[in-house]
Amino acid sequence: MRLSYTLDYTKDVVALTPTILELEKVGLDLLWLQEAYSFDAVSAIGYLAAKTNTIGLGTAILNVYSRTPGVLGMTAAGCDHLSGGRFHLGLGASGPQVVEGFHGMAYSKPLTRTKEVVDIVRKIVGREVVEYSGDTVSVPLTKDAGGTGLGKPLKLINKPDRSIVPIYLAALGDKSVETTAEIAEGWLPFFWVPEMAQQVFGAALAPGLAKRSAELGALDIVANTTVAIGENLDREVLLQGMRNHIALYVGGMGARNANFYNDLAQRMGWVDEALAIQEFFLTGKREEAAAAVPAAWLDQATLVGSASFVAERLAAYKESGVTSLDITIPAGVDPVATVEQLRSLM
């Protein structure tokens, strides 16, 4: 398995650059940068491209609405050039709260929009003339679609370093997962529990993989987990961040009857727990929501414990189909030492 690290949008990229350089030295393969309604991830990618040498750099994720497909294609080619061919374009539909609430864009046909954006990005990076007529995107914009009718098909001026920049899609629902397995180089799933992965995602992955082009290679499955390795660790303290994270998404990311993450928790078998977390969260009881996260979820979806425990869980992740392990390191835990320990166990 490859090893990656996600830098969340609250972190100061400039201040953390010395640590990132140390992580690069000890063998971290890839650094993902988040973006919601924070500082943009693309600026940080450009900055880190100039500071680093070997580590891969990716967005996790850019939403497919707030930038045009043309801008996303230009961004992929430009970041790949600045990094010397190390860029990974992570895309996703995000949700109405960010897309409509922050960007003022209509959140319409997310799966169709994602597929059409991927098509156009690949044309741009491949330096093809871009001419596309889809349900959510028309390039050039025709007069019938509200344009002047003066636009002509164009191709990227610069020659990209690579004709293919790997595209990773964040996907939760069955149709989204199926599409990701069919068209993307990689998948950024949410809340991966190795023992439940087949039960939750297997039926969606299978038809997508069956339609997948051999030219794409094997699907890179990037699963996130919290890591801290040692004896006599205070697991409750170290896992509190994970508890809060699960409670936020299962409880508060969406309306009571329209929360994809709550649905996912229920599909994993935690029906009563998911409903309790949501009820607590939506009534302002966030501590109670976090406390209601099942201990079994934390045990199975994290690598917090002794070296032997972590080695056992690493094997479970690999067995479940994970090809890239993305790690979150709790506050107070040395990230460089943790990556070195994890590498020795992999």
- Look at residues 235, 229, 232 and name the one whose alpha carbon lies nearest to residue 340: 229
Contact 258, 173 (CB under 8 A): no
pLDDT band at 254 (very low <50, low <70, confident <90, very high): confident
Average predicted confidence (pLDDT) for the chain = 96
Pick the CATH number of 1-170 from 3.20.20.30, 3.40.50.880, 3.40.50.2300, 3.30.565.10: 3.20.20.30
How large is the average pLDDT for residues 134-145?
A: 94
* Ranges of each domain in the chain: 1-170
Per-residue pLDDT reduced to its tens digit, 28-40? 999 999 998 999 9
The residue assigned the tokens 């992740």 is 317
Instruction: Report whether 166 contacts 88 (CB < 8 A).
Output: yes
Q: Give pTM, 2 decimals.
A: 0.96
Whether 96 shows a pLDDT value over 90: the answer reads no
pLDDT tens profile 330-346: 989 999 999 999 999 99
Task: Assess contact for 164 and 122: CB atoms under 8 A.
Answer: yes
pLDDT at 165 over 90: yes
Alpha-carbon distance of 228 to 333, in angstroms, equals 7
